[in-house]
Amino acid sequence: MIAVPATEKPYSREWLLSEQPTSRHQARLGRAYVIWRRFSANRLALAGLAIILLLILVAIFADVLAPHNPVQGDLRNSRLLPPGSAGYLLGTDDQGRDILSRLIHGSRLTLFVVVLVAIIAAPVGLIIGTVSGYAGGWVDAVLMRITDIFLAFPKLVLALALVAALGPGIENAVLAIAVTSWPPYARIARAETMTFRNSEFISAVKLMGASPFRIVLRHVMPLCLSSLIVRVTLDMAGIILTAAGLGFLGLGAQPPLPEWGAMIASGRRFILDQWWVAAMPGAAILIVSLGFNLLGDGLRDALDPKEAGQ
Amino acid sequence: MTLTDTTAVTRRNRRRASSFGMAVVRFVVTVVTTFLGLLAVTFFIGRVVPIDPALAIVGDRAPAHVVERVREELGLNLPLYQQFWIYIKQALTGDFGTSVLTTNPVMTDIARVFPATIELATIGTIIGALIGVPLGVLAAVKRGSIADQIVRVIGLIGYSVPIFWLGLLALVLFYAKLGWVAYPGRIDIVYEYTFTPATGFFLIDAIWQGQWDVAWDLFRHIILPGGLLGYFSLAYISRMTRSFMLNELQQEYVVAARAKGLSETRIIWFHALRNAAVPLVTVIALSYAGLLEGSVLTETIFSWPGLGLYITNSLQNADMNAVLGGTIVIGAVFIAINILSDLLYRTLDPRTRSR
C-alpha cells in the first residue's frame, strides 16, 4: 500500500488510528487509544476502574466527605447505633464513632498500604528480573535461585512472623508485605527481558556504545513495564487482603487508626447482636479488592489480547 | 551394527545418563537451597531483626547478669555465621526451642496441633476440588454463557473477599441464626473427655472406631471452616480448570472425536478433562499448600485448635520461638508440596519425560 499523506485532523479518531503515524507522539497516543478502546469495551473492567477512582477520590477528600470525627465518638448518645440511624448512615461502633466516617478515613490507609508496597516491591522485582535476564550466566543463576526461594515461601505466614519481630504497626506491615511480594515481579521482568535480549535493537544500542547499565535502564526496563503493571494491579487485591489480615490480628495499623481489618477485629465481639460493626469494613475491603481484580483482569486483556478470556 | 553406530549409541546413552545426573543434581540443589533459604529467613527474623533477642525473652527489667546469662545460653555472643550453623543443626533435629506460653518444646506443641490443621485443609481441598473442577468444566464448555459469567463472579468474589470476615458472617448466619452447625471449636465438650482418638485426625478416628455420634459432632464442627477454605480453593481451582479446558477443547483430537461421532459428554469428561487433569493435579496441590497457610486466619475465627491458632496465640504473647517454629513447619510443608507437585507433574505428563 502506498503511504497516504496524513491529512487527518490531529487528535481526531482517524488521526489516532492512522496506520502511518507521522510522529512518535502520534504513534504513542494511537497505541494508548487502541488499548483504551479494548479496555473500555469490557464493562466489568470499567466498573473496576470506577471503584478504584472512587477510592482515590474518597481518600483525597476524606476530611470533607466524612460527616463525623473518625477517631472520637459520642460515647453517651451514639453507642452501637444500627445502620440508618439519624446522622449515622452505616451505624456506629462500640465507642460511638460513625462507621461511615471511619471507612472514609480508612480508605487513606488502604491506599497508603497498596501504593507503598507497589513502590517498594515493583522496582525491586524489576531491577532483579531485568539484570538477571540481561546478564545471564551465574548472575542469573544466583538471582533466580534467591527469587525462587522467596517464591516458595508462604506469604502470609512469613509476613506475620516478620511483623511479629519488627513490632506491630502499619509501616512494618507494609515492609513485611513488600518483602514477600517482589518475587513474581522479578520472574515476569526476567521472562520479558529474555524475549528481546538478543533482538536487533539491543545490538544496535550496544554498537552505539551504550553500557549494560544504560541498556537495562533505558531500553529493557521500559519494555517490561506493561506486563509488570498488569501483575501489580492483579496483586493489589492480595495485598489489601494480607494487610487486612495483619490488621485483624492486631499487627497492622494500631488503634485508634480506622484501618478496615482492625475495625473488623474490634467488631468481632459484637458480631452476634451488632453485626454491622464488623460487616461494614469487610464489605469495604471486598468492594475495593474486587475493583482491583476487575481492573487488573481488564488491563491484562487490553494489553495482551492473546490471553483474553482465558 | 557398525562400529560408528555403537559409538553413537554409547555416546547418546552417556549424554542421557549425564543429563539425568544433571537433573538430579539440579533437583537436590533446588531442594537444599530452598530449605536453607527458609531457615536463613527465620534466623534473620528471630535473631537479627529484634534489637536484642535476650531482652525479648527476659524483659527489659531483668538485671544485667540475667540478660548476660541468657545471651550466653542463646549463643548470642558468637559470630553470626556460627550462630546460624548451630541454628541449622537444631532445626534439622526438630529443636525450635521452648515455647514461653506453654513451656513445652515448640516441636511437641506443633506435633500436637498440626493434625488438626491438616484435617481442615484436606477437607477444604476436597470440597474445593469436588465443586471447583465441575464448575470450571461447565464454564469452559458453555463459554460466554450466563453459567460462565456466574462461575466467573463466584471465583472473583473468592479472590477478593477477606476470608476471616466471611467466616464471621457465616458463623452469625449458620450457627447463631440458623443453628445448623456447631459453635467454634473442633469437638463438643461432652465428647472431649470420652473420645480417645488414636491419631490426631479425629474424623477418621471416630469413623474407624464406629462412634457415629462423635463423627456427626465433628462433622458439624468442621463443615463451616472446611467449607470456607473450600470456597477459597474453589475460586482458584475453577478458574484454572476453565482455562485448561478451553485450551484442550481447541485441540484437534477433540475435532477428531466429534467427527468420529462420540457424544459431547464423553468428549468433555473422558477426553478433554483427562488431558487437562495433568496440570490440574499441580493446581490442586498448590491450593492445598495455600490452604495450610490460609488456615491461620480461619482457625482464629473458628477457634480451631490447629497450627494457625497456635501461631496467632503465640503472636499475642510475643512467644517468638513458637511463632518461628510454626513458620518453619508451615514453610517446609509448603515447599515440600510445591516440589512434590512439580515431580508429580513430570511423572504424569508424558511430554515432560526425557526420551
What is the three-state SS of B316-342? HCCCHHHHHHHHHHHHHHHHHHHHHHH
- Nearest by CB to residue A268, choosing from B168, B289, B338, is B168
Q: Is the peptide bond before A281 cis (omega within 30 degrees of 0)?
A: no
Report chain B residues whose CB lies below 8 A from the CB of A157. Answer: 293, 296, 311, 326-327, 330-331
- Asked whether residue A127 carries a pLDDT value surpassing 90, the answer given is yes
Which residue in B160, B286, B319, B333 has the most chain A C-beta atoms within 10 A of its own C-beta, making it the best mutation to test that interface? Answer: B160
Distance from CA of A52 to the nearest CA of B (A): 14
- The 10s digit of each residue's pLDDT in A247-306 is 999 888 888 889 999 999 988 888 888 888 889 999 999 999 999 999 988 888 888 755
Among candidates B37, B172, B296 on the partner chain, residue whose Cβ is nearest the Cβ of A275? B172
Phi, psi of A253 (to 5 degrees): -60, 140
CB contact under 8 A, B33 and A145: yes
Is residue B210 domain-shared with residue B333, that is, in the same domain?
yes
B119 and B244 in a single domain? The answer is yes
Domain end among B92, B123, B151: B92
Q: Do A249 and B312 touch (CB under 8 A)?
A: yes
**Residues of B with Cβ-Cβ distance to A264 under 8 angstroms:** 162, 164-165, 168
Q: State which of B92, B114, B142 marks the end of a domain.
A: B92
Give Cα separations from B123 to A251, B62, B223, B229 (angstroms): 29, 47, 8, 8
Say whether B161 and A286 touch across the interface (CB within 8 A): yes
Q: Are B127 and B263 part of one and the same domain?
A: yes
Chain B residue with minimum CA distance to A271: B172
Query: Is B26 contained in some domain?
Result: yes
A250 contacts on B by Cβ (under 8 Å):
316
Q: Which residues pair with B98 in a beta bridge?
A: B105
DSSP reduced 3-state for A68: coil
How far is Cα B164 from Cα A282, in angstroms, rounded to an integer? 9
B289 chain-A contacts, CB cut-off 8 A: 154
Residue of A nearest to B326 (CA): A157
Which residue in A256, A284, A269, A280 sits closest to A82, CA to CA? A280
Report the C-alpha gap between A274 and B104 in whole angstroms.
39
Is the same domain home to B45 and B111? no
Which triple of cell numbers denotes residue A206? 550496544
> In chain B, how many domains are there?
2
From B49's Cα to the closest Cα of chain A, the distance in A is 6
Is B248 contained in some domain? yes
Domain membership flag for residue B100: no
Q: What is the ipTM of this complex?
A: 0.85
One pLDDT digit (tens) per residue for chain B, 355 residues: 444 555 655 666 666 656 778 888 888 888 888 889 889 888 888 877 766 667 766 767 778 788 788 777 777 778 888 888 888 888 888 888 888 778 889 899 999 899 999 999 999 999 999 999 999 999 999 988 899 989 998 999 998 999 999 999 998 888 888 888 877 888 777 777 777 777 778 788 878 887 888 888 888 888 899 999 999 999 999 999 999 999 888 888 888 988 888 888 888 888 888 888 888 988 998 899 889 888 888 999 898 889 999 998 888 887 888 888 998 998 888 888 888 888 888 777 766 655 4
Mutate to test the interface with A, among B114, B164, B238 (most CBs of A within 10 A): B164
Q: Is B98 inside a domain boundary?
A: no
Whole-number Å distance between alpha carbons of A171 and A163? 10
Judge if B79 and B118 occupy the same domain.
no
Position B227 in a domain: yes
Helices and strands of chain B, counted as H and E runs: 15, 0
Mutate to test the interface with A, among B168, B246, B250, B317 (most CBs of A within 10 A): B168
DSSP-assigned letter for residue A254: P
Work out the pLDDT band at A189, boundaries 50, 70, 90. Answer: very high
Residue that the C-alpha cell 484501618 belongs to: A259
Residue in B169, B176, B335 closest to A152 by CB: B335
* Domain containing residue B339: CATH number: 1.10.3720.10
Residue among B50, B168, B293 minimizing CB distance to A165? B50
Contact A181, A155 (CB under 8 A): yes
Specify if B126 maps to a domain.
Answer: yes
B45 with B122, same domain: the answer is no
| Alpha helix (H) residue ranges in A61-98 | 62-65
| Same domain as B46, residue B12 | yes
- Distance between CA B197 and CA B90 in Å, rounded? 31
B212 in a structural domain: yes
Shared domain for B130 and B266, answered yes or no, is yes
Q: Which residues are registered as beta bridge partners of B105?
A: B98
Find chain B residues with C-beta within 8 A of A154's C-beta: 289, 292-293, 330-331, 334
Å between B45 CA and nearest CA of chain A: 6
Same domain, B232 and B145: yes
First to last CA, chain B: 22
C-alpha distance from residue A268 to each of A253, A259, B293, B302 (Å): 17, 14, 22, 12
User: Which chain A positions have a beta carbon within 8 Å of B338's beta carbon?
Assistant: 152
- Based on the domain organization, do B163 and B281 belong to the same domain? yes
- Write out the residue range of the structural domain in which residue B52 sits: 3-92
Q: Is the CB of B34 less than 8 angstroms away from the CB of A157?
A: no
Q: What are the CA-CA distances from residue B188 to residues B169, B183, B198, B204 (Å)?
A: 22, 9, 18, 16
Instruction: Judge if B69 and B170 occupy the same domain.
Output: no
Residue B99 lies in a domain: no
Domain boundary (B70, B92, B114) is at B92
Burial bucket for residue A38 (CB in 10 Å: 0-12, 13-18, 19+) = middle
Residues B46 and B110 reside in one and the same domain: no
